[in-house]
Amino acid sequence: MSYENLLVEKKDSIAVITVNRPKVLNALNARTIREIHECADEMAADETVRAAVLTGGGDKSFVAGADISELRNADRNGGLEISRLGQAAFNAVESLPKPVVAAVNGYALGGGCELAMACDFRIASVRAKFGQPEVTLGLIPGYGGTQRLSRLVGKGMAKKLILTGEIIDAEEAFRIGLVERVVPHEELMKEAEGLALKMAGLAPVALRLAKRAVDSGFDVGLEQALGLEKELFGDVCATDDKNEGTGAFIEKRKPGFKGS
C-alpha cells in the first residue's frame, strides 16, 4: 500500500514505518491516524514481516502530538469520534501479532507518547522528550494515554505526568519505566532495527503467543492468566517451529523457523 503521511521500508524480515510530516513535527491528523491503522492491518497480514520499527520523520520529533487545528472546533460528538479513531488505530498497533519497537527520535508528546506506548518496546534517543500535556490545552489524553501510562509507570507517576502536563527527558522516562533503553541519537535506528531483527529471527508463532500471554494476562487474576498461559503453551507445542527449535538445540545447530 502507498501512504501520504507514512513511509514503509522493508528490510529483510522487518518493516521500518516512519510517520512522515516533519514540517509539523509529525503531528497526527485524522488522515495520518487512519493510515497508521491501515498500515498495522497490512503488517499483521504480511507474513514476510516478522517485526517492525516505528519512528518519526526528520530530526526533531517522533510525533509531537495530535493536530490541534483539527481539535480546535470539535464538540462532544466530534471529540468522541476523534478519540474512537485514535484508540482504534493504536489498539491495532498494540495488538499486532508480531513485535513493534518504537524508535523515539525526538518529541513524543500527547498522541505521540500514546503511540509509543502502544508499541512493545521503546528505545529513546538522548534527545527524546515525553509527556501528556493535554491538560495545558484544556483536554485530556484520548488515544489511550490515561490507561497505558499507568500500566507502564504506575498510577501515581501517571497522575503526576497527566495532571501537571509535565514534559520529561529520556533519562527520566527510563528511570520511571516509560522506555526500556536510552541511546546516543546517532545510534537510535541501529539499536531499534537490531532489536527488531533479533526478534524476527525467532519463531513467529512463539513470539505471537508469548506476546498474547503477557498482554491478555496482565489485567486479569493470576489463576485466569495462568490458565491462558497453559492453553497457549499447549498450542505452541503443536507447532513445527517447536519441533525445529528443540531439535536444533539437541543437534547443536541454528534453527530455521518457518512460522508454522
Q: Name the catalytic one among 35, 94, 114, 191.
A: 114
Q: Could you give the CA distance from residue 126 to residue 196 in angstroms, rounded to a whole number?
A: 20
For residue 22, what are the contacts with CB-CB under 8 A and spacing of at least 6?
56, 57, 58, 60, 61
Q: Could you give the CA distance from residue 196 to residue 184 in angstroms, rounded to a whole number?
A: 18
78's grid cell: 466530534
Q: Could you give the CA distance from residue 166 to residue 161 in angstroms, rounded to a whole number?
A: 5
Integer Rg of the chain from CA: 19
Q: Examine the residue annotation and report whether 4 is marked as an active-site residue of this protein.
A: no
Q: Name the catalytic one among 9, 42, 47, 134.
A: 134
Give SS3 for 4.
coil
118's grid cell: 502502544
Q: Examine the residue annotation and report whether 134 is marked as an active-site residue of this protein.
A: yes
Name the residues annotated as catalytic. Answer: 114, 134
